[in-house]
């Protein structure tokens, strides 16, 4: 990576180290590099713009305060994503503990970074809403795995590292989540015909062609 003047730009690890050492600009630069993808993961995981924005804010504040604890045994971006996903899962658990709060559909607020959530073509809008609802209906652990692997395109091994579980666990969660989504999407697309023709992948995100390469 090079900066605008052609010199080598600092790595993520360099920026985090500089932040720990007192550089007041380093963490902001690190956030600028990764904010859009962190936001996309949060939004897809938690399903609500306001809560996703709050989760990202909480996560980045935690990362800012605890940067000195980063051991360097994973990529900085993996570490940041782990903090963001954990913040989202914490919020999902709190929301589930208060069932009177309706499950958001992701469209309540315009807060958060703009231009990150992909906009579906008009003719696919209804399908996108159905997929979003099917994803939101999954258990939090399956949803997080599918968001990372199927929507955001992370390798299974990196998703396992982000979530702090075994590779086999990620594969199992993805398989169970895809099966539930296929059933939901199949029932909508072919009412009364079962789900024999339903796809088991999430029809959004960059991962469709790479998912099976791990």
Q: Residues 5-38: pLDDT tens digits?
A: 566 789 999 999 999 999 999 999 999 999 999 9
What is the DSSP secondary structure assignment for residue 206, as one 8-state letter? S
pLDDT given for residue 23 in this prediction: 96
Which burial class, exposed, middle or buried, applies to 167 when counting CB atoms under 10 A from its CB (0-12, 13-18, 19+)?
middle
**Mean confidence (pLDDT) of the chain:** 80
pLDDT given for residue 174 in this prediction: 96
Whole-number Å distance between alpha carbons of 40 and 144: 12
Whole-number Å distance between alpha carbons of 66 and 50: 24
Whole-number Å distance between alpha carbons of 185 and 203: 11
pLDDT band at 184 (very low <50, low <70, confident <90, very high): confident
Whole-number Å distance between alpha carbons of 61 and 49: 18
pLDDT given for residue 67 in this prediction: 96
Query: What angle do helix axes 12-20 and 76-96 make, rounded to 10 degrees?
Result: 80
Residue predicted with more confidence, 166 or 129 = 166
Q: Residues 110-159: pLDDT tens digits?
A: 445 544 454 444 445 667 778 888 898 999 999 999 999 999 999 999 99
Domains of the chain and any CATH numbers: 10-118 (1.10.1740.10), 120-193+210-214 (1.10.10.10)
CA 104 to centroid of chain Cα atoms = 16
Residue predicted with more confidence, 3 or 164 = 164
pTM for the full predicted model: 0.71
Q: Is 25 helix (H, G, I), strand (E, B) or coil?
A: coil
pLDDT band at 1 (very low <50, low <70, confident <90, very high): low
């Amino acid at each position: 990576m090079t900066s605008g003047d052609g010199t080598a730009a600092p790595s993520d690890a360099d920026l985090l180290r500089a932040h720990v050492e007192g550089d007041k600009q380093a963490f902001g630069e690190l956030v600028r590099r990764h904010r859009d993808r962190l936001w996309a993961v949060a939004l897809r995981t938690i399903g609500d713009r306001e809560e996703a924005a709050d989760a990202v804010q909480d996560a980045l504040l935690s990362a800012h305060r605890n940067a000195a604890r980063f051991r360097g045994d994973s990529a900085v971006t993996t570490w940041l994503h782990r903090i963001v996903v954990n913040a989202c899962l914490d919020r999902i658990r709190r929301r589930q503990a208060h069932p009177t709060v309706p499950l958001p559909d992701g469209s309540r607020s315009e807060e958060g970074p703009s231009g990150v959530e992909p906009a579906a073509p008009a003719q696919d809008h209804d399908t996108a809403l159905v997929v979003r609802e099917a994803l939101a209906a999954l258990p939090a652990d399956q949803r997080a795995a599918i968001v990372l692997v199927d929507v955001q395109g992370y390798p299974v091994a990196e998703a396992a590292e982000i979530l702090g579980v075994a590779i086999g666990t990620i594969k199992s969660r993805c398989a169970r989540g895809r099966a539930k989504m296929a059933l939901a999407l199949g029932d909508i697309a072919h009412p009364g015909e079962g789900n024999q023709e339903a796809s088991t992948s999430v029809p959004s995100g960059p991962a469709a062609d790479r998912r099976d390469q791990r």
